[in-house]
Amino acid sequence: MRPVFTVHKLDHEGREVFSYPATPIFRTPDAVLLKAIWDRPPVDAGYVVLELGDGWLETFYADRWYNVFEIRSADGRLKGRYCNITRPARIFTDAVYAEDLALDVWIAPDGQTMVLDEEEFARISLPPRERTAVEIALETILKDPLNFWQEPPLEVVVGHLLRERGLTLATAESCTGGLLGHRVTEIPGSSDYYLGSVVAYANAVKVDLLGVPPEVLEAHGAVSRETALWMARGARRLLGADLALSVTGIAGPGGGTLQKPVGLTFIALAAPDGEWVEEYHWRGDRSANKDASAAAALALLRWYLAFR
């Protein structure tokens, strides 16, 4: 049984606004990753609807002027990521205190961003050095909204959780060309839980090694929800893993169509207790789209290991 944290959200003058329980998932000397469940009535914020049972993975930093949390529905659907601009958090053994500075950022699953509460932020009284720190934090977030939230590194967190739960992982990749496996194996000791990968770039490899039915490829194409799921199933079966991730998409700059544009990507997770497929529409160049796909796959796995 993991210990229970209490998260204390404070205003810019240090007055507590509300608090809630959370469970620690991973810690570093300067950060803590917590999970929490939305247990309040639904709230429609306009850009997202918070619903009973939504899962939150929230990271607080002792050395940064923001904290970020990923919101998923109870069944794992990514709703987006929300960033509070805060003073560096005070992190203790069983509690964290974060002083909110009003300014917020919403990051949709595809990386589109909204800056929120700018007028409220302009009204609060802050020393010039703190306003400068906030401006730098906001610039950092907006410069790379698909990647800034990946600390602690996703591959470190999922490696820790896989080892902790005694589970093994396999991957099947198309458009990422092995990048997902590369990230997983950047962690020393990853052979404890990572069994291997099939880089199935050609359709023939998808069929012959991963067992994707030819009729699925004919009916839905290589870049599809159905193919991603069959790829994950095939990797799990072929390599004898507990869990398997797959990625298939159109990284660009060419290869897109009106029906399937550049950036369209499907990510799947196959597990003993369920299967999940996510659809993304990236808007970067080839390298950025591959990076985003690998990160999205690891984020899906992180959610599964934290909540299932």
Indicate whether 99 and 193 sit together in one domain: no
In a domain, 281, yes or no: yes
| pLDDT tens track for 204-235 | 999 999 999 999 999 999 999 999 999 999 99
Indicate whether 112 and 160 sit together in one domain: no
The whole-number pLDDT of residue 111 equals: 84
Indicate whether 87 and 193 sit together in one domain: no
Domain count within the chain: 2
The whole-number pLDDT of residue 190 equals: 98
CATH of the domain at 244: 3.90.950.20
Indicate whether 130 and 180 sit together in one domain: no
The whole-number pLDDT of residue 110 equals: 83
pLDDT < 70: residue spans in the chain: 1-3
Indicate whether 133 and 167 sit together in one domain: no
The whole-number pLDDT of residue 202 equals: 96
Indicate whether 214 and 265 sit together in one domain: yes
In a domain, 124, yes or no: yes
In a domain, 148, yes or no: no
Indicate whether 178 and 242 sit together in one domain: yes
CA distances from 295 to 9, 85, 152, 170, 212 (A): 28, 23, 12, 16, 24
Indicate whether 303 and 158 sit together in one domain: yes
In a domain, 149, yes or no: no
Indicate whether 99 and 182 sit together in one domain: no
pTM of the model: 0.96
Indicate whether 228 and 138 sit together in one domain: no
Residue that finishes a domain, picked among 94, 116, 143: 143
The whole-number pLDDT of residue 2 equals: 66
The whole-number pLDDT of residue 272 equals: 97
In a domain, 120, yes or no: yes
Q: Name the residue range of residue 207's domain.
A: 154-307
Indicate whether 113 and 179 sit together in one domain: no
CATH of the domain at 28: 2.40.380.10
Indicate whether 97 and 134 sit together in one domain: yes
In a domain, 57, yes or no: yes
